[in-house]
Each structure stands twice: as C-alpha cells, then as structure tokens.
Amino acid sequence: MIPVTKPFLPPQEEYQAYLNEIWSSGWLTNMGPLSVELEQKLTAHLRVPQLLYVTNGTVALQMAIKALDLKGEIITTPFSFVATTSSIVWEGCTPVFVDIDSDSLNIDAGKIEAAITEKTTAILATHVYGNPCDVLAIDAIAKKHNLKVIYDAAHAFGVEVYGKSIFEYGDISTCSLHATKLYHSIEGGLIIAGNAELHQKLRYIRNFGISGFYEFAELGINGKNSEFHAAMGLVNLNHIAAISEKRKALVKKYDELLKETRLQRPVWHQDSENNAAYYPVIFETEEALLQAEETFKQNQIGTRRYFYPSLATALPYLDPTEMEITDSISKRVLCLPLYYDLEIEDVNVVCGILKLNNQIQTIKHS
Ligand SMILES: Cc1ncc(COP(=O)(O)O)c(C=O)c1O
C-alpha cells in the first residue's frame, strides 16, 4: 500500500523529551514556554519579522479577515481547499470568484480588476501547491483600488520569492501546519502580519480579545494552540532540512520519469523554488484521470483529486458559477503520493502505472 500522504513522525524519544518538560512545567496550553519557543524559532527559520502560532490554518484565515475588519465582497480563487472560501462566508463576507491562470493554477491577476465593485474590500488568494501567486501584480491592484490582501499560504512553508519569505507579501499571510503538510505540528497554523499594530491586534484576537487582567481590546476567539502541538512543531523543525531534501529528491525523480509523457505540470514561479509540498499532474481528459485513478486503486496506491470540484460550483451555501479554466483543471488534476517515507522505488512504481495508463489512452484514441 502506498498512501497519497503520510505524516512525518520524528523519533519518539525526541517527542518524549518535550513531554517530560511539559510534565515538569505543568503548563499545557495558553502560550506556554514551548509555544513561545516555537514562535521564536519559526520567526528565525522563515526570516519573517514576527508570527503567531495558532490552532490551525482555517482559524488563521478567519482571524485574518476579522483583524482587517473586512466587509462586503472578497475576491478569491475557486481552485483551493474549501477553507479558503468557507472562512470568507463564516466571517459574513461574500466570496467573488476570479478564474485561475492555466499555467500557475493561481488566481489570474489579469482578471481581478474586472471583478472589483464598490463593495470589494479585499483579495484572498492561495499560493496553490506552494507556487507563489503573481504577488507584484496583486499588490499593485490592491494599492490602486485600496484593497487589503490576504494570502492563504497553507502550502507554502519555506517558500521564498524575490529574495524574501512568501509570508511577507500581502497584509496578512496564513499557513497550515496540519499533519499532512510538509512541516507540521499535528494541528496548527501560522499568521504573519508585517505591520506591528496588526500583529498586536491578531495577538489579542487569538486570546479571546483579552488585553489585560480584566480588560478586552478586541472581539476575539480561542485561536491558541497547546504545548503538545508546539512540542511536535519543535521536534519536526529539527528535521526540516532532511524532510525538504528527501521530498525534493522525490519530485526530481517524478519529473525525470514523467517528462516524456503528455501529463501537464503547473508552471512554477520563475523566481521561486518548488518546496515539494505536492506532486500534481494534469491529464489531457477527465476520462484519462479516472482511468488512472482506478488503476492506482487496484494497485493499492493512493491519489487525491486536489482540488476537486471547483469551489465555485461545489458549495451548497453558494450559487454555482462556472469558471472555464478552474472547471477544466479541477476535473483533470490528480496529486500523486509524496511524503518523507516514500521511497524512490515507489516513485518508479507510480510512474510505471501512469505510463501504462498513458499508452492505453493513446491506443484508445488512435
Ligand atoms: C489551501 C488551504 N487553505 C487552508 C487550509 C486549512 O488548514 P487547516 O487544515 O490547518 O485548518 C488547507 C488545509 O489543507 C489548505 O490546503
């Protein structure tokens, strides 16, 4: 059995050492010493001015929308995980979908201006699979129309563009540290706001809005994370170089083995390196994808249609909107197995099946 993903688990004794610390401090949650240490280490590792460690990537998005006081319409991508859209609706705003670019699979910056109305207050874009959006174009549009920008950088741990962290773009960036992510703390999320005042506001929001012993500065939520989660984050951070290296080697192998096939791959941002968070391939037709998916299933290989279906058509709480490129890509994209424990030999097996599938499709259509 080859699953599509498998969480990285560090040597158990390394986690146990942190559990011993928790037992002696007696501090289980509420911004304890391990959460503070994790924030400090991640700030240095990611080269950002400051960050907050929170419950998960979804709460991070909701807190971002709340902190920026967004109302009305938020322009967003239909090609993302459901949390990108649901957080907009959860915060009482209206998502307005703009189609994606067929190469990068990120929101098409060239189509954003046409979607702006007098109700638009922000752009919420996802760096899909960790591939940076056209941050310069989005920034210019936001400035011109006085809009806020939030980046859902759930997939983009460790990504840099134009010489700095991807998390430094936009008013706020959020990241997910969920167990299936490249770097994780079981559950967890990050919020990065460059502006010190906004950062402080988010800090209050994370802790019920509490600003002093019997004082409240903001409408807040419980966005804190526990010491047990922080401990996993700290242990895993010691392994991040090895995790990245292994995943990049697997991606290189996939690239080598699949280059002769007709499978399409997302085109990566010219100024950025792939962080090897996912390995998506795009088939020529949905039929070819379904055929491959079935063959993988028969061979006990996990794959995931990620993202499928388009968020502009899938959600029962929104009127469906057709989006030409998203509809087409989401029907044809499949993520292949990629995780630290995956062996190069497994990549050979996965690619062998894909190539066979390709041949069947070619014969069928000739
Ligand atoms: C693009 C995107 N945004 C948001 C989230 C939500 O993150 P979390 O699971 O940490 O709440 C995910 C999780 O998979 C995601 O892929």
306 plus 265 within the same structural domain: yes
What's the number of domains the chain is made of? 2
Q: Do 184 and 218 share a domain, yes or no?
A: yes
Question: Which 8-state DSSP code applies to residue 264?
Answer: B
Same domain, yes or no: 38 and 178: yes
Last residue of a domain, one of 206, 237, 268: 237
Tell me if 335 CB under 6 Å of ligand 1: no
pLDDT given for residue 71 in this prediction: 98
Q: Which of 237, 264, 287 is the last residue of a domain?
A: 237
Shared domain for 204 and 339, answered yes or no, is: no
Answer yes or no: is the C-beta of 56 below 6 A from any ligand 1 atom. yes
The answer to whether position 1 is within a domain reads no
Do residues 170 and 290 share a domain? no
| Strands 94-97 and 189-193, sheet pairing | unpaired
Query: 87: Cβ below 6 Å to ligand 1?
Result: no
- For residue 94, the enclosing domain spans 12-237
For residue 243, how many C-alpha atoms fall within 13 Å in the half-sphere facing its CB? 22
* Span from the CA of 319 to the centroid of ligand 1 (angstroms): 23
Q: Is the beta carbon of 280 within 6 A of some atom in ligand 1? A: no
Q: Quote the CA–CA distance of 111 and 58 in Å, as a whole number.
A: 26
**Which of 81, 175, 221, 333 best tests ligand 1's pocket when mutated (most atoms within 8 Å of CB)?**
81
Does 62 contact ligand 1 (Cβ within 6 A)? no
The predicted structure's pLDDT at residue 208: 98
Q: From atom 10 of ligand 1, which residue's Cα is the shortest distance away?
A: 57
Distance (Å, whole) CA 246 – CA 243: 5
Closest of 8, 2, 5 to residue 279, by C-alpha: 5
83 CA distance to ligand 1 middle (Å): 6
pLDDT of residue 359: 75
Q: What are phi and psi of 123, to 5 degrees?
A: -120, 130
Are 197 and 70 members of one domain?
Answer: yes
User: Would you tell me how many other CB atoms lie within 10 Å of the CB of residue 242?
Assistant: 11
Provide the strand spans (E) within 26-110: 52-54, 73-76, 94-97
Q: Is 306 in the pocket of ligand 1 (CB under 6 A)?
A: no
Looking at the domain assignment, is residue 40 inside a domain? Answer: yes
Atom 14 in ligand 1: residue holding the nearest Cα: 81
- Predicted confidence at residue 366, as pLDDT, reads 65
Same domain, 130 and 246: no
Does residue 220 sit in the same domain as residue 277? no
| Same domain as 261, residue 143 | no
What per-residue confidence (pLDDT) applies to 179? 98
> Does 152 contact ligand 1 (Cβ within 6 A)?
yes
Q: CATH number for the domain including 273?
A: 3.90.1150.10
Rg, C-alpha atoms of the chain: 21
Which residue among 237, 258, 283 closes a domain?
A: 237
For tokens 């966005």, the residue is 223
| Structural tokens at position 47 | 């080269």
Mean pLDDT per 10-residue interval, the chain, length 366 residues = 97 98 97 97 98 98 98 98 98 98 98 98 98 98 98 98 98 98 98 98 98 97 98 98 98 95 96 98 96 95 97 98 98 98 97 85 67
Cβ–Cβ < 8 Å for 147, 207: no
Q: Which residues make Cβ contacts (< 8 Å) with residue 91, sequence separation at least 6?
A: 62, 65, 66, 70
- 308 domain residue, yes or no: yes
94 and 151 housed in the same domain? yes
Does the beta carbon of 154 sit less than 6 angstroms from any atom of ligand 1?
yes
* Atom in ligand 1 nearest the alpha carbon of residue 80: 1
Residue 59 Cα: closest atom of ligand 1: 11
- 126 Cβ closer than 6 Å to some ligand 1 atom: yes
pLDDT recorded at residue 365: 67
Closest C-alpha to 176, from 159, 161, 156, 197: 156
- Which amino acid residue places its CA nearest to atom 1 of ligand 1? 81
How many angstroms is it from 179 CA to the middle of ligand 1?
Answer: 11
Is 163 domain-assigned? yes
Residue 361: its pLDDT value, please? Answer: 67
- Calculate how far, in angstroms, residue 189's C-alpha sits from the geometric centre of ligand 1: 9
Q: Are residues 259 and 166 in the same domain?
A: no
- Residues 155, 52, single domain; the answer is yes
